[in-house]
Amino acid sequence: EVEILDARTRDKLCFLDKVEPQATVADIKNLFSKAHPQWYPARQSLRLDPKGRSLKDEDVLQSLPVGTTATLYFRDLGAQISWVTVFLTEYAGPLLIYLLFYFRVPFLYGPRYDFTASRHRVVHLACCCHSFHYVKRLLETLFVHRFSHGTMPLRNIFKNCTYYWGFAAWMAYYINHPLYTPPAYGDEQVKLALAVFLVGSPLSMSPMPPPTARIPRGPLMSPARPSAPASLWQCGDSSGPAVALFSLVGFVQMAIWAQGKHRSYLREFRDYPPLRSPIVPFLL
């Protein structure tokens, strides 16, 4: 038997009879959603204590510290959206927005510049780098990424898209502007930025993940290396074409994600290397 209470009010929401001891938390969520269809499984957070951690979907009922009648507490996580949809939306937007400015579609720079091309080689190089970066991310989302959670709160997609889409439009407007002037230090500055981009791009590529979580290993993964190295290399990847506010804001958000991943590693693996930092070795 499983009794489900509201974590805030302690009101009884559901009583599930004849639940098998081998049932998982995912099975209980499915049974609960039949009684309350508005709370589909992805919206549910079930826990043993009202203020405790959420139980994992793969947790088995008989392995939990409960009696013959298990009391679980429910929290509504709000409307959810799949991570794949989030990433595809985040990354497809900047790719398309940048190309609109690159091809100078009407209503962006004035009628006389419609569908004209820049005479500066660095502008075309920037478009190639920017497009490659987001095509790579889209392909990784479709074929490489493994998500620890299937969904995220729907409200977060607006914040994420504002960052990616907004900065893409801001950069694209000035880089592809008809009055754009090349970098002050000429080809040397362009070559340096391109080198940073080329170094960061392959290092930020994610290898095919294993089916289960494990401590990350590899040639660049010494005991002192960061827990989320891909996030660090992505900062270098994006700083090549845009060494400015875009990279700074991106680094702040990636640092938050890296710290969350670092904490999850520490909770899950007792032998996790103690010298590792979330994103920047020895600093952060």
pLDDT tens digits, residue range 270-283?
888 878 888 887 77
Domain boundary among 27, 47, 78: 78
End-of-domain residue from the set 37, 61, 78: 78
Q: Is there a domain that residue 208 lies in?
A: yes
How many structural domains compose the chain?
Answer: 2
Same domain, 32 and 106: no
Residue 135 shares a structural domain with residue 253: yes
Whether 238 and 101 map to the same domain: the answer is yes
**Of 10, 96, 18, which is closest to residue 2 (Cα–Cα)?**
18
Burial-class residue 86 by CB neighbours within 10 Å (0-12, 13-18, 19+).
Answer: buried
Mean pLDDT (the chain, rounded): 83
Instruction: Supply the DSSP string of 60-93, one letter for each residue.
Output: BGGGSS--SSEEEEEEE--SEEEHHHHHHHHHHH
Residues paired with residue 46 on neighbouring β-strands, in sequence order: 74
pLDDT of res. 165: 96
Q: What is the pLDDT of residue 267?
A: 81
pLDDT digits (tens, 9 = 90+) for 33-53: 999 999 999 999 999 999 889
Euclidean distance between the first and the last CA atom of the chain, given in angstroms as a whole number:
46
Is-above-0.75 flag for pTM? Answer: no
* Whether pLDDT at 210 is above 50: yes
Residues 99-108, buried b or exposed e (16+ Cβ, 10 A)? bebbebeeeb
Q: Band the pLDDT of 201: cuts 50, 70, 90.
A: low
Under 8 Å between Cβ of 284 and 277: yes
State the pLDDT confidence band at 213, using cuts at 50, 70 and 90: low
Same domain, 184 and 122: yes
Quick one: 121 and 260 in the same domain? yes
Range in 149-153, 181-185, 222-226 with the lowest mean pLDDT: 222-226
- For residue 50, what pLDDT is reported? 92
Question: Would you state the pLDDT for residue 70?
Answer: 93
Total residue length of the chain = 284
Q: Are the CB atoms for 44 and 77 separated by under 8 Å?
A: yes
- For residue 276, being part of any structural domain is answered with no
pLDDT at 245: 45
Cα(28)–Cα(263) distance, integer angstroms: 27
CB contact burial 274-283 (16+ within 10 A = b; e otherwise):
eebbbbeeee
277 domain residue, yes or no: no
- Report how far residue 3's alpha carbon sits from residue 31's, in angstroms, rounded to the nearest whole number: 12
Round to whole Å and give the CA distance between 84 and 145.
Answer: 9
Q: What is the pLDDT of residues 155-187, one digit of tens each?
A: 989 999 998 999 999 999 999 999 998 887 778
Query: Confidence class of residue 217 from pLDDT cuts 50, 70 and 90?
Result: low
pLDDT confidence bin for 221, thresholds 50/70/90: very low
> What tokens appear for 156 in the block?
């977060």
Q: What digits encode the pLDDT tens for the residues 77-129?
A: 999 999 999 999 999 999 999 999 999 999 999 999 999 999 999 999 999 99
- Indicate whether 104 and 232 sit together in one domain: yes
Q: Strand, coil or helix: what is 17?
A: coil
Torsional sign, CA 185, 125, 233, 151 = positive
- Specify whether 162 is located in the same domain as 245: yes
Tokens linked to 170: 């801001």
Domain that holds residue 164: 81-268
Asked whether residue 113 falls in the same domain as residue 215, the answer is: yes
pLDDT at 149 over 80: no
Side chain identity at residue 121, one-letter code: R
Give the CATH number, domain containing residue 46: 3.10.20.90
Per-residue confidence band for 130, with pLDDT thresholds at 50, 70 and 90: very high
